[in-house]
Amino acid sequence: MINENILAKNRAEEFGHDLWEEFVIPHYYREFEILNSLKPSIIVGGRGCGKTMLLRYLCHESQFSPKRKFLDNVVLNRIGLYWKIDTQFAKTMSKRGEDEVAWNNAFIHMSVLILSMEILKSIESIQKSFMNTKNQFDFSIFDFSSLTGFEEIIPNEFIDLKKHLKSSFNKFQMWVGNYKKIPSPIFFPINFLIELIDTIKGDLPILQNSDFHVYIDEYENLLTEQKRIVNTWVKHSESPLIFNLAMKRNAFGERLTVGNEQIAGIHDYREFDLELLLDKQYDIFAAEILLFRLKQSGYDEIPINIDDLFSTDIPIIEKRKSDSYRLTILKKAKQILPGYSQIELSEQVIKDSILKNRIQELVEKALSRRNSKYEFSDFYNEKYPEVMIVLFALLNRKDITEEALLKELSFLKEGKPNKFYGKTAWVHNNFIGCMLFLYSKLGRLCPLYSGFETFSKMSKGNIRHFLELCFKSIANNSVSNSEVFIIDPKVQSAAAKQVSTSLLKEVRALGPQGNSLYTFVIRLGTIFEYCRDNPSQSEPEQNHFTIKNGISKRSQNFLDELCKWSVLYEGRLTKRKNTEMGVEYTLNPIYSSYFNISFRKKRRIEISDAEFGIIAFEGLEMFDRLIKTKYKKELGFMPNLFELF
């Protein structure tokens, strides 16, 4: 019996800070660990790629987790401190009639207080985890009298220092809110942290070789001045205090430090793009997480050793990259989440009287437009269901005559080479486009959005989206057979539609411009729907675009925002035409099911900067006009299958 509540957890925040035996080690981990030595790391990645999970795994709550069985002193060399800065509060330390230097000092003071408290917490984590070893220690060994140089009333003892720091932070918060009415506290410089660490290392010899790594999450939300302060810390990071940053894509715009020096890659830091690192093994990683979560929720038919997923040993990680492991794990994932083959999909259409009638209607309409002497029955043959799916599209193309088509059909019947398959590959090139056309016109759930591979493609490196697709499918699966755990592809398609709709609604919440991003996605998706609705399917599966003849700064900024939130993905143009820019933008495939468009990156459309401006910034009337002139369509409302009330 599967416990769906356990499966429903898919955000780092839901797991807390101790991720020991919760965090599946990504295949890139060794690469990351080796390079992430004493040089600061800048960790970049879109939402849901696992940034926060990785950071929390690296930090003391996980590394010194009570759940961790075998600890040796080597793990003490690196003590991680996670810090997501409370930006709504940090932002109030600017302007307000006070000069920039004073606020910068206040920001540094806040950072010192918070990180000092975090350092003490890390010592508590270590103390708890080493309790039963020969390295056990007591807090009474610490003497913090050296810190009184910063503030005379700082207590000497560990517990008192902890209380003092908390109380100082509370007072500091009151001061920030009312700085005109309350006297300023004594601001601590960043060196306070070094002194604190030196004291701890001096008093606790097992930490002699330890470095403290601060991981600042969501760096992009800081004010420019605050980013410069943090950049300075990164630039001047050295043992025993190293600053690392994590941020979304396109978010590292500010490179200056307080001293107006630039912070530069390789020299000052190493950048890790988690989505790129994950890309190579994403499908295996997704399958592993799926199986692990199923195991957690009570499913036992797991063909791999789950403990391997938490191991950072090189041979085990290498084993997880091997072909045999890959085959085993993908086979299991596909067994749980099967998809339909092309032939199965086409047979279903032929067996469904409504869909079959729709094909007949489309073929007859095409023949009538041609004033053809032929009839539907001259072409239709259920022995070749895949061919029947693409028939209407081919008959809607001027350059293919009925006779030519009948000739190819006869070649097909005779088993001779023909254009449906082979080099011309009418079936291969048009099948998905025709399927999407057929289903969307009838407002039905399209079974294309099913199968492990499809879910993997639709989630495009976003584990949270992948898990959402899987667990919605499992939750919707009414057949509970503990012996054979297989989710019907139709159930999966319904789940994909639900998840797609739900995540599309979430676009409104993506940053301060969320409402504009949402309007843009709805409009772009609508355009791709109109592209799909061409019965000739001469350009099937259009789901990305490029901008021709240059782009304005306003448009570029908006595109950057869309990419920052992974609503669009930016890629280099593979086949570049004369007037196109060097980049193309793909709509996140997770939205494909909502719009009934292809999740595969196949064909692009070209739009001008002016047209982009209309889609992104103008009112409904202008957009309506664009749709009418460019796509000869009227805007209309599509019924939502999942409207709840």
Partner 1 sequence: MNYSNYKDFMNINMQYDSTSSKLSYEDWDLGFVGSSVDDRGKEAIAFIGSKTKKVIKIEYDPINYLILIEEQSIGIDFIDDFLMSYLDLESKIILDCTSLGFVELLIISQVLSNYRIKDFDAIYLEPEYYRADRNKGISKRDFELSKSFEGYIGIPGHTLSISTDNCDKVVFFCGYESERIERAFEDLNLNEEKTQLIFGVPAFHSGWEMNSFSNNIRVIDERNLNRRLYFCGASNPLAIYEKLSVIYRGLSVDERLFIVPIGTKPMALGACLFKICTNDNQKLAILYDHPKRKEERSSKISRWNLYNISL
Asked whether position 103 contacts partner 1 by CB under 8 A, the answer is no
Asked whether position 253 contacts partner 1 by CB under 8 A, the answer is no
Q: Which residues pair with 241 in a beta bridge?
A: 212, 238
In the complex, minimum distance from the CB of residue 216 to partner 1, in angstroms, rounded to a whole number: 13
Asked whether position 87 contacts partner 1 by CB under 8 A, the answer is yes
In the complex, minimum distance from the CB of residue 24 to partner 1, in angstroms, rounded to a whole number: 22
**Cβ neighbours of 226 (radius 10 Å):** 24
DSSP summary character for residue 297: T
Q: Site size for partner 1, by CB under 8 A?
A: 55
In the complex, minimum distance from the CB of residue 639 to partner 1, in angstroms, rounded to a whole number: 10
For partner 1, the closer of residues 93 and 274 by Cβ is 93
Binders of partner 1 in range 214-233 (CB under 8 A): 218, 221
In the complex, minimum distance from the CB of residue 399 to partner 1, in angstroms, rounded to a whole number: 34
In the complex, minimum distance from the CB of residue 544 to partner 1, in angstroms, rounded to a whole number: 20
For partner 1, the closer of residues 319 and 464 by Cβ is 464
For partner 1, the closer of residues 159 and 425 by Cβ is 159
Q: Which segments of 507-645 does DSSP mark as H helices, in order?
A: 514-532, 553-564, 592-595, 609-617, 620-631
Give the three-class secondary structure for 23: coil
Asked whether position 170 contacts partner 1 by CB under 8 A, the answer is yes
Q: Which residues pair with 273 in a beta bridge?
A: 44
Let me know: does 20 contact 62? Beta carbons within 8 Å. yes
Asked whether position 427 contacts partner 1 by CB under 8 A, the answer is no
Binders of partner 1 in range 536-595 (CB under 8 A): 594
The phi-psi region of residue 304 (left if phi > 0; otherwise alpha if psi is between -120 and 50; otherwise beta) is beta
Q: Residue by residue, what is the 3-state secondary structure of 558-609?
A: HHHHHHHCCCEEEEECCCCCCCECCEEEEECHHHHHHHCCCCCCCEEEEEEH
**Of the candidates 112, 242, 132, 110, which has an alpha carbon nearest to the alpha carbon of residue 179?**
110
Give the three-class secondary structure for 606: strand
For partner 1, the closer of residues 70 and 645 by Cβ is 645
Element (DSSP H or E) covering residue 5: helix 4-7
DSSP sequence for 167-226: HHHHHHHHHHHTTTTSPPPPPPPTHHHHHHHHHHHHH-GGGTT-EEEEEEE-GGGS-HHH
For partner 1, the closer of residues 218 and 570 by Cβ is 218
**Of the candidates 116, 140, 287, 139, which has an alpha carbon nearest to the alpha carbon of residue 195?**
116
How far apart, in whole angstroms, are the C-alpha atoms of residue 107 and residue 93? 7
For partner 1, the closer of residues 225 and 268 by Cβ is 225
**Cβ neighbours of 539 (radius 10 Å):** 14
Task: Give me Rg for the CA atoms of the chain.
Answer: 29
Q: Cβ contacts of residue 119 below 8 Å, gap of 6+?
A: 81, 193, 196, 197, 200, 212
Give the range of 177-185, 273-281, 489-497, 610-618 binding partner 1 by CB under 8 A: 177-185
In the complex, minimum distance from the CB of residue 512 to partner 1, in angstroms, rounded to a whole number: 5
How far apart, in whole angstroms, are the C-alpha atoms of residue 591 and residue 497? 9
Return the residue of 110, 126, 204, 438 that touches partner 1, per CB under 8 A.
110
For partner 1, the closer of residues 221 and 232 by Cβ is 221
For partner 1, the closer of residues 283 and 561 by Cβ is 561
In the complex, minimum distance from the CB of residue 214 to partner 1, in angstroms, rounded to a whole number: 14
For partner 1, the closer of residues 86 and 198 by Cβ is 86
Q: Cα dihedral sign for 227, 231, 232, 237? A: positive
For partner 1, the closer of residues 396 and 519 by Cβ is 519
How far apart, in whole angstroms, are the C-alpha atoms of residue 48 and residue 462? 5
Return the residue of 3, 4, 13, 259 that touches partner 1, per CB under 8 A.
13
In the complex, minimum distance from the CB of residue 515 to partner 1, in angstroms, rounded to a whole number: 6
Give the three-class secondary structure for 280: coil
Asked whether position 338 contacts partner 1 by CB under 8 A, the answer is no
Asked whether position 135 contacts partner 1 by CB under 8 A, the answer is no
Asked whether position 636 contacts partner 1 by CB under 8 A, the answer is yes
Let me know: does 122 contact 199? Beta carbons within 8 Å. no
Asked whether position 535 contacts partner 1 by CB under 8 A, the answer is no
Q: Which two tokens stand for residue 340?
A: 């339909």
Q: In which order are the strands placed within the sheet that holds 542-548?
A: 568-572, 583-587, 542-548, 603-608
Q: Which residue has the tokens 């599209």?
A: 393
How far apart, in whole angstroms, are the C-alpha atoms of residue 306 and residue 25? 11
In the complex, minimum distance from the CB of residue 22 to partner 1, in angstroms, rounded to a whole number: 17
How far apart, in whole angstroms, are the C-alpha atoms of residue 144 and residue 158? 8
For partner 1, the closer of residues 98 and 606 by Cβ is 98
Asked whether position 382 contacts partner 1 by CB under 8 A, the answer is no
Q: Per-residue x/- marks for partner 1, 503-522, CB under 8 A?
A: -xxx-xxxxxxxxx--x--x
Asked whether position 501 contacts partner 1 by CB under 8 A, the answer is yes
Pairing type for strands 542-548 and 78-84 reads unpaired
Q: Which two tokens stand for residue 361?
A: 């209607």
Return the residue of 502, 534, 556, 586 that touches partner 1, per CB under 8 A.
502
For partner 1, the closer of residues 399 and 643 by Cβ is 643
Return the residue of 88, 132, 478, 481 that touches partner 1, per CB under 8 A.
88
Return the residue of 148, 341, 357, 640 that touches partner 1, per CB under 8 A.
640
In the complex, minimum distance from the CB of residue 248 to partner 1, in angstroms, rounded to a whole number: 11
For partner 1, the closer of residues 190 and 522 by Cβ is 522
Asked whether position 86 contacts partner 1 by CB under 8 A, the answer is yes
Q: Which residues pair with 607 in a beta bridge?
A: 547
For partner 1, the closer of residues 113 and 412 by Cβ is 113
By the criterion CB under 8 A, which residues form the site for partner 1?
13-14, 84, 86-92, 95-97, 110, 114, 169-170, 173-174, 176-180, 218, 221, 501-502, 504-506, 508-516, 519, 522-523, 526, 594, 620, 623, 635-638, 640, 643-645
